[in-house]
Amino acid sequence: MELYNRPAHELQRLLQRKDISCRELTESVLRRADAVDSSVCAYLTRLNDQALEQADAIDERIAAGEAITPFMGIPLALKDNLCTDGIETTCASRILKGFRPPYDATVVHKLRKTNAIFVGKTNLDEFAMGSSTENSAFFPTRNPWNTSTVPGGSSGGSTAAVAAGAAIAALGSDTGGSIRQPASFCGVVGMKPTYGRVSRYGLIAFASSLDQIGPITHDVTDCAHLLNVISGHDPMDSTSIDQPVPDYGAFLIPEVKGLRVGVPREFFAQGVEPPVADAVWKAIRLLEEKGAVVEECSTPCAEYGLPVYYIIAPAEASSNLARYDGVQYGHRTAEDVDVVGLYQKTRKEGFGHEVKHRIMLGTYALSSGYYDAYYLKASRVRTLIKQDFERAFQKHDVLICPTCPTVAFTLGEKTGDPLQMKLSDVCTIPVNIAGLPGISLPCGFHEGLPIGLQIIGKPLDEGTIFRTAYAYEQATEWHSQRAPL
């Protein structure tokens, strides 16, 4: 297997033994990115020269006897809504074209400390608002398994880069499924941690009570190790949880005997295609054969996740995106207008259709006379969804369901049907609403496209999710499949 297609934990053993050099590895990934990115379009910014300089410096340290630390010398990609000191960060929006933050996001800073190598910033739906990475202001990203289909969104660039071998691993953000849904479509592993487990400092905000940063990798082992690196309390983020971070690697055992698995029936009823449901049920039965105790359960309020999300998320977006006014940073209209005209023209020119749509929805939901009817009611239903999950977890250790109702759809297929586009996230959104951790990993194929298995856990219990996912992964070969690009 080519170096660019191997997981990080294998590559680090090769680096430690000096079987390969960091420069060889980095050049392998950069060559692969050069070869495939004209087809996949995963990257907005490439950092080739910086990456090779980092690789040479790391090779010198290894030659001097320095021990390899997790993700040292591993080429990674970063979603372009994570601030990177001095490197353009656009959120795939014209309003931030040319913006170079003067600081790193906390997760970026933590990765720099491990001596990870950054190969580029990846494409996304503008301000992470979308399910297909077709809403980028610059160009759509394509799925490496079939370039006529979407990679999912909004972290489509990060997942496509990993699936195509143009990065060994990546970071994305997940507001309503934006890591797990594209991970499902692209046949990789993606995790949304518990809300507050990973610092959001330096993540350009979409919906602050829902956003979480998480890892995207080839396998569960890399996912656990990368989450270890980026997790932990951060005083720069007031929502960051001040709790010890366990060693997630300790949960990577292929043993699920006695594990209580709940299967929420509502997640199989909302337009889930039969081949997807069949693949997920086969995965559940395999875990049962390995000793897990499987039982169907119910989370009745989860069906309201979609309408709740599309009130709360746009409302928070309306507030968060008010800062883009053309005064301090980012795009500013060239027209000679008064201050009100400056705001209006700048935002009209800088924001795309989907962002404007969500700002208007959110502003309406928060407006006088409508706040109680929409935002307040949605917040109350949010509590009911959370309580449903709490009751389910009194009897079960994890919940298992599809990540998405379908496999990846064709580019342009759903752009004219906003409801169908939004239904792509129907299985992932309730997890964000409740602030829970969840992972997607491959569990099969339909018409040559990957199917994702979603495992949901209790708050701060990512370890049990990893244990379940690892046991399934070790009993199958889906994670070893690579896109035939």
> 13-60: per-residue pLDDT in tens?
999 999 999 999 999 999 999 999 999 999 999 999 999 999 999 999
Given its phi and psi angles, is residue 71 left (phi above 0), alpha (psi -120 to 50 degrees) or beta?
Answer: left
Entry pTM: 0.97
Ranges of residues in the chain whose predicted pLDDT is under 50: none
Residues belonging to the active site: 79, 154, 178
Chain segment 216-271, per-residue pLDDT in tens: 999 999 999 999 999 999 999 999 999 999 999 999 999 999 999 999 999 998 68
In what side-by-side order are the strands of the sheet with 398-402? 43-46, 117-122, 75-79, 169-174, 212-217, 189-192, 438-446, 449-457, 398-402, 260-264, 293-297
300: left (phi over 0), alpha (psi -120 to 50) or beta: alpha
What pLDDT is stored for residue 271 in this prediction? 87
* Residue 428 identity (one-letter amino acid): T
Handedness of CA 201, 205, 210, 215 (dihedral sign): negative
The pLDDT value given to residue 485: 86
Q: Which domains does the chain have, with CATH numbers?
A: 3-262+395-480 (3.90.1300.10)
- Spatial contact of 142 and 185, defined as CB atoms under 8 Å apart: no
Beta-bridged to residue 192, according to DSSP, are: 438
Query: Shortest CA distance to 476 belongs to which of 316, 332, 271, 282?
Result: 282
